């Protein structure tokens, strides 16, 4: 196929995909889709609810158009089940499978949702299921920083067949450019697409419980004074009247919704949800494997404000 025909084919696919979305794409989504059209892998670092899943959907659509496969990996069974439902509604139950520790449904389908450990085991077993694989989506890729499970993500990125492209998605990876540069050393050309604007407004709340009942109260953590956010004095006074037990905690709630593709989560993950570029996060300890494995030097910076286990 000539370059002109390839370009025309990409333009046709792109137009068809964008017209099928019920909303216009944001600039960062278009940049990520451009990277896929150029044949690159891509890392999308954007806040929760901004629409990262749209990029995964485009990669899946391209794989199906080529007669190939796409795997969508997540760190959690519950999230895998959610994505399985979303993609089944998008592409039909006959074209989508699910592989987790609890479920094995249509595992030979062209689109399979699975926990990341399942894919790692497939790679080491040289499973025939990997044949015709075009894309692997690594949702919540910041799990690579997890001291117990992070090696799984690293092994998948390193050991996937060389012709498979990866689409990495995260709301909390702090050194996105550095991480994308490492992915490029093992997967080939990789684009880092970083979006710092948060489309889903977050409301910070303070939860306190009454001593004499199970009733709880949600109070704004901050109030506006002279154009600045200040600690809410009512919350401070409430601690003397209400129960200062572990019930009381800071809470962050996402308010409103936004175009988020199939199943993107609108519930915010607090202040840590904002993505930052590597220019502002060069200091601090990196993934523990970066000290012992040259494959991923500084792959993802560990942050006290980022809790991998709570980022679903």
State CA 276 to chain mean position distance: 14
Residue-wise pLDDT for 15-48, tens only, equals 999 999 999 999 999 999 999 999 999 999 999 8
Residue-wise pLDDT for 259-282, tens only, equals 434 333 333 333 333 333 333 333
Q: Name the residue ranges covered by the structural domains of the chain.
A: 3-194, 204-255
Q: Which residues pair with 220 in a beta bridge?
A: 205
Does 3.20.20.70 match the CATH number of domain 3-194? no
221 contacts 250 by C-beta, under 8 angstroms:
yes
pLDDT at 101: 83
Residue-wise pLDDT for 150-184, tens only, equals 999 999 999 999 999 999 999 989 899 999 999 99
For 114: left if phi > 0, alpha if psi spans -120 to 50, otherwise beta; the answer is beta
Closest CA to 74 of 262, 258, 201, 253: 262
- Percent of the chain's residues with pLDDT above 90: 55
- Cα-only R_g, the chain: 21
pLDDT at 220: 86
Beta strand pairing call for 41-45 and 104-105: unpaired
Give the whole-angstrom CA distance, residue 241 versus residue 84.
Answer: 47
Give the whole-angstrom CA distance, residue 268 versus residue 202.
Answer: 7
Residue-wise pLDDT for 52-100, tens only, equals 999 999 999 999 999 999 999 999 999 999 999 999 999 999 999 999 9
266 contacts 257 by C-beta, under 8 angstroms:
yes
208-247 in b/e form (b: 16+ CB < 10 A) is bbeeeeeeeeebebeeeeeeeeeebeebeebeeebbeeee
Across 9-23, 120-134, 151-165, 296-310, least confident range: 296-310
**Residues contacting 6, CB < 8 A, separation 6+:** none
């Amino acid at each position: 196929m000539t370059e002109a025909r390839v370009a025309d084919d990409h333009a046709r696919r792109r137009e068809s995909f964008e017209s099928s979305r019920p909303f216009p794409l944001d600039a960062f989504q278009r940049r990520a889709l451009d990277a896929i059209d150029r044949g690159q892998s891509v890392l999308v670092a954007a806040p929760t609810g901004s629409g990262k899943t749209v990029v995964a959907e485009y990669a899946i659509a391209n794989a199906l158009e080529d007669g190939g496969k796409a795997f969508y990996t997540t760190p959690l069974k519950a999230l895998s089940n959610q994505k399985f439902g979303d993609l089944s509604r998008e592409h039909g139950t006959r074209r989508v499978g699910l592989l987790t520790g609890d479920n094995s449904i249509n595992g030979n389908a062209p689109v399979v949702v699975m926990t990341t450990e399942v894919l790692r085991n497939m790679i080491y077993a040289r499973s025939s299921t990997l044949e015709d694989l075009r894309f692997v989506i690594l949702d919540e890729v910041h799990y690579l920083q997890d001291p117990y499970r992070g090696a799984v993500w690293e092994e998948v990125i390193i050991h996937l067949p060389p012709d498979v492209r990866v689409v990495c998605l995260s709301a909390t990876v702090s050194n996105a450019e550095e991480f994308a540069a490492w992915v490029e050393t093992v997967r080939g050309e990789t684009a880092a697409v970083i979006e710092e604007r948060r489309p889903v407004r977050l409301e910070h709340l303070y939860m306190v419980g009454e001593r004499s009942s199970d009733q709880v109260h949600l109070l704004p953590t901050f109030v506006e004074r002279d154009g600045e956010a200040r600690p809410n004095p009512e919350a401070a006074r409430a601690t003397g009247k209400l129960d200062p037990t572990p019930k009381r905690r800071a809470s962050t709630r996402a308010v409103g919704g936004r175009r988020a593709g199939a199943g993107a989560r609108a519930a915010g993950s607090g202040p840590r949800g904002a993505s930052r570029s590597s220019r502002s996060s060069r200091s601090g300890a990196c993934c523990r494997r970066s000290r012992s494995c040259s494959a991923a030097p500084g792959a993802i910076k560990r942050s006290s404000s980022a809790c991998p286990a709570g980022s679903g």
